[in-house]
Amino acid sequence: MTKQPTVLVVDDEPFICRSLSFVLRKGNFHVVEARNGEEALAAVRQHRPDLIFMDVMMPKLNGFDVCQAIKADPEYAHTHVILLTAKGQDSDREVGLQAGANEYMTKPFSPTKILERAREILTKL
């Protein structure tokens, strides 16, 4: 039996975190939530997610810093990270990609699109 893929959802906005988690669970993924950058790093170490959807603007550590820390660690560098943000300028996208993000999605986004993207990524594992 194959292991159910784990998706980490990181957002300090409870509604966004809940709605993303709901749609991903309905898509048959194991979902772990974190509300800030420090919780995200702890969750990565504890749960070893296959995919991370992470907000950029968060308390304690922002998404760019968390992404950089994940990608700098050889144990987690392979983890697919998608940054979610309301900051859609090209310069923000560039900072996210330089931090090691695999993708960058701007808010508002469709939960259905999130689920579709998760399936595309995780079926390749």
Per-residue model confidence (pLDDT) at position 66: 97
CA-nearest of 3, 7, 41, 39 to 25 is 7
Domains in the chain (CATH in brackets) are: 6-117 (3.40.50.2300)
pLDDT of 5 strictly over 80? yes
Average pLDDT over residues 91-102: 88
Q: Looking at the predicted structure, is the pLDDT value of residue 30 above 80?
A: yes
pLDDT band at 72 (very low <50, low <70, confident <90, very high): very high
Q: How confident is the model at residue 2 (pLDDT cuts 50, 70, 90)?
A: low
| The pLDDT of residue 97 | 85
Residue 43 — very low, low, confident or very high, per pLDDT cuts 50/70/90? Answer: very high
For the record, the structure tokens of 42 come out as 């702890």
- Average pLDDT (7-24) is 95
* pLDDT number for residue 70: 97
> Confidence class of residue 1 from pLDDT cuts 50, 70 and 90?
very low
